[in-house]
Structure 1
Amino acid sequence: MGSKDQKQSGGFFSSIASSISNFGSSMHKSVNGLVGYEGLEVINPEGGTEDAEEEAQRGRWKQEERDSYWRMMQKYVGSDITSMVTLPVLIFEPMTMIQKMAELMEYSYLLDLADESEDPYMRLVYASSWAISVYYAYQRTWKPFNPILGETYEMVNHGRMTFIAEQVSHHPPTSAAHGENEHFTYDVTSKLKTKFLGNSVDVYPVGRTHVTLKRDGVVLDLVPPPTKVNNLIFGRTWVDSPGEMILTNMTTGDKVVLYFQPCGWFGTGRYEVDGYVYNAAEEPKILMTGKWNKSMSYQPCDLEGEPLPGTEMKEVWKVADVPPNDKFQYTYFAHKINSLDTAPRKLLASDSRLRPDRYALELGDLSKAGAEKSNLEEKQRAEKRNREAKGHQFTPRWFDMSGEVTPTPWGDLEVYQYNGKYTEHRAAVDSSDGIEEVDIRSIEFNPWQYGNVATE
């Protein structure tokens, strides 16, 4: 880490960093003053101090764009930026938020192992390692596209699993997803809450994640830590998730509590995760330790949390090989998620892969991506006007409101439940020989509930 190549790696507002040499002394002072960072020494989370001054002075904006973008952004300080719909496409990655929900399935084999395990505490070791595994992908600091209301993402070609996600609400932005194979079901309702702080954004996962292990019907509830995206405008953009992750076996009362260490000065503690599996009496049974960007290991322990004599630390998960110098820091699995070549038969027209702005950005055409993004946003507004004029209410296709409101550490959440209709749809498609095969690239993106909508 910390190589010259990685200094220029992608991130929120960092795609144009290589074309800028300096902020300019006057702009440096004014921006730092506005966000309360006058005279602040920039932390280098990669370790080392040799480039701290250089990072502090490096700008994120083209000269002609800098002032107008900052004026646009400063009005959002202290607010939830999920409402910011006019951000420039150059800060985005070619993936949507509901596609990122599917990235949690990369290491789904760990849930298979949890279901197969006879040891109730090892079940939690496997399942919590699965929950940690996605943080390697979350360290990417590009912004995903906000899903259009009614947009979907489906995956049927990984781990014998069927996965469907849908954007079920526009305000507040809420997504729901369901994944299932012979070993487990995965159900999540996700509503991100953010707070823009000038040079950073706090992200609070107001969501409810349940995993049901099928063999014994065990239900696991996940509460992840918050995330902070640092150095949005100046310095090297990086992500930290300090706090506790708690995975509770709601059937037995056993749980895992893992503490994500905050990044200290010059990178001390970054990526480190430590904690224990506890029984229902809150006695430690297994200690866990590792780094969320590399691997996790475990070892049985005594009631004081010390390793049991005669046991050894064993690795339970490690990051798979990744493509070298990938433009968007994607894993091989992330590329698989985005690929039209791995899309299921008769792909839904509402699928994220088909978004013209996402696809144009993937091909490197920023101008077209920006124009298509604006067009989709206007279509979404037009669809809403049309729907409200007819007195209709948007109804998700694959999920229903459960009527349950669950508390989270960051606010209450209305829970959506999978209605089973996608399972029926996919079974009908896969079993029918009479469905005409269509070139996926010819399908027009269409999440609109009342037909496609022309811009006005």
Structure 2
Amino acid sequence: MVVQVTKEEKKEIKIVLTKPLQLEKESNSEENYRAPNLLQRLLSLFNNVRPGSDLTRFQLPPLFNLPKSQLQCYGESVYCSASDMLSICNRGQSPLDRFISVVAWCISTTRPASFGVAPYNPILGETHHVSKGNLNVLLEQVSHHPPVTALHATNEKENIEMIWSQQPVPKFYGTSIEVKVDGKRKLKLLNHGETYEMNCPHLLFRILPIPSADWVGTVDIRCLETGLVAELSYKSSHSFLGLGGNHKVIKGKIIDSSSLKVLYDVDGHWDRIVKLKDRKNGKVRVIYDATEVISGLQAPILKDVESVWPTESVNVWSELSQAILSKDWEKAREAKQVVEERQRELMREFESKRQNWIPKHFVVSYTKEIGWHCSPIHNSVTPAPIIAL
């Protein structure tokens, strides 16, 4: 049950379009959303939560929210880029050239996270539909408990397609929160008949001794047709009392799985420079520069307000986002309760009728062996009324 929005109502709603998350060395706009005494408030929030607890159903007060949905954050990692890295992947002369470009693109989807603030948990059926150039991106929240997001993106000019599903699993460990991100990503370069599969690193929030947010874990990238494989390790070490250390490190290697030969070493920082070293001749080159790719990003623009779906994130959360931006926390609390109660009503309705939710844009299945599998209903994504710059 999704409340329909008339044309008149759409004109009254002030749609909030915010900048993507920026690199730490830039002026982070999300700093403006933080409430006073954030660490103290956060510690009190988790005072009665047991270590090891699953936080999937945990609801954050608006004080700790960014004015955007998690769907938007997932989408930004795909369409917010200062350079067209997907086209570079497609134009590589050899399978190895294309694979290296895909590795660089995969690193570019790792975006800065900020301690103490988080996006909204998407409601069931919520969508996010954005275009940038010839790339059209569509996300849908296909499950609420557990939370599962499906993504489909197509670029018909370059003949590129992306399909993936993501399920965040947050757990509390006393002095830290780790968000394991389950799900498989697929990037298809259809002109070359190549499919690349990859996973996502995990997000680690350290509360004590020094608050921080870091991506950690192992990412495996493989091309099913060529047998090329990349193993990337995301690390963030802290010295005594959390001071110093080496942050946002990425190390790895590119392997020819048919011969088990290591072709290249990968080394650098995902928020700065990542280099590739040729094992054969020792030559080193830069394959990714975060400053060039994810700096100076601007908020998207709205091309046609009347074409924005009622389920679009900016419609669902418009009143809450406006309240957060104006720091009207009482209004924010009320606006969030309205959305959450609408979600509960939807679930009660389906339970009373003994019906299952059917996503609009994806066919969804789940097995213990594979996990969540989301297949887009349509072959391509249509152009969107929200345009990324």
TM-score, normalization: structure 2? 0.81
Aligned to 1:372: 335
- The partner residue of 1:230 within 174, 198, 206 is 206
- The partner residue of 2:89 within 114, 125, 130 is 114
- Counterparts of 2:251 and 2:305 in 1: how far apart (Å)? 39
Q: In the superposition, relative to structure 1, how do residues 141 and 159 fare at CA in structure 2: closer, same or farther (>3 Å)? A: farther
Q: Give 1:245 deviation, angstroms.
A: 1.5
- Counterparts of 2:368 and 2:191 in 1: how far apart (Å)? 26
- The partner residue of 2:308 within 329, 347, 355 is 347
Tell whether the 8 Å contact from 2:92 to 2:98 is kept in structure 1 after alignment.
yes
Q: Give 1:391 deviation, angstroms.
A: 3.8
- The partner residue of 1:93 within 66, 90, 111 is 66
Q: Following superposition of structure 1 onto structure 2, how do residues 36-435 of structure 1 map, counting pairs within 5 Å?
A: 59-61=39-41, 69-71=45-47, 74-85=48-59, 87-105=60-78, 106-107=80-81, 109-139=84-114, 141-156=116-131, 158-181=132-155, 182-183=157-158, 184-231=160-207, 236-265=210-239, 266-280=243-257, 281-302=259-280, 308=281, 311-320=283-292, 332-333=297-298, 335-336=299-300, 341=302, 346-354=307-315, 355=317, 356-401=319-364, 403=365, 405=367, 407=369, 412-420=370-378, 423=381, 426=382
DSSP-derived class of the 2:124 partner: coil
- Counterparts of 2:104 and 2:294 in 1: how far apart (Å)? 19
**Structure 1 runs not aligned, ≥5 long:** 19-58, 303-307, 324-330, 431-439, 441-456
DSSP-derived class of the 1:81 partner: coil
Tell whether the 8 Å contact from 2:115 to 2:205 is kept in structure 1 after alignment.
no
Q: In the superposition, relative to structure 1, how do residues 370 and 391 fare at CA in structure 2: closer, same or farther (>3 Å)? A: same
RMSD of equivalent CA atoms:
3.1
Q: Give 1:141 deviation, angstroms.
A: 5.0
DSSP-derived class of the 1:353 partner: helix
Tell whether the 8 Å contact from 2:273 to 2:286 is kept in structure 1 after alignment.
no
- Counterparts of 2:185 and 2:284 in 1: how far apart (Å)? 32
- Counterparts of 1:422 and 1:344 in 2: how far apart (Å)? 22
Q: What amino acid does structure 1 have at the position aligned with 2:289?
A: W
Q: Which has the higher strand share?
A: 2
- Counterparts of 2:350 and 2:250 in 1: how far apart (Å)? 47
Aligned to 2:12: none
Q: Give 1:148 deviation, angstroms.
A: 0.8
Higher CA-based Rg: 1
Q: What amino acid does structure 1 have at the position aligned with 2:101?
A: Y
Q: Give 1:366 deviation, angstroms.
A: 2.5
Q: In the superposition, relative to structure 1, how do residues 128 and 315 fare at CA in structure 2: closer, same or farther (>3 Å)? A: closer
- Counterparts of 1:344 and 1:137 in 2: how far apart (Å)? 29
Q: Which moved more, 1:168-177 or 1:106-115?
A: 106-115
Q: Give 1:136 deviation, angstroms.
A: 3.3
DSSP-derived class of the 1:332 partner: coil
Q: Which has the higher helix share?
A: 1
DSSP-derived class of the 2:53 partner: coil
Q: In the superposition, relative to structure 1, how do residues 143 and 343 fare at CA in structure 2: closer, same or farther (>3 Å)? A: farther
Tell whether the 8 Å contact from 1:278 to 1:284 is kept in structure 2 after alignment.
yes
Greater relative contact order, per chain length (Cα 8 Å cut-off, separation 6+): 2
Q: What amino acid does structure 2 have at the position aligned with 1:353?
A: V
DSSP-derived class of the 2:183 partner: strand
- Counterparts of 1:393 and 1:258 in 2: how far apart (Å)? 38
- Counterparts of 1:418 and 1:217 in 2: how far apart (Å)? 19
Q: In the superposition, relative to structure 1, how do residues 11 and 400 fare at CA in structure 2: closer, same or farther (>3 Å)? A: farther
Tell whether the 8 Å contact from 2:275 to 2:284 is kept in structure 1 after alignment.
no
Aligned to 1:435: none
DSSP-derived class of the 1:270 partner: coil
Tell whether the 8 Å contact from 2:101 to 2:287 is kept in structure 1 after alignment.
no
Q: What amino acid does structure 2 have at the position aligned with 1:78?
A: G
DSSP-derived class of the 1:285 partner: strand
Aligned to 1:23: none
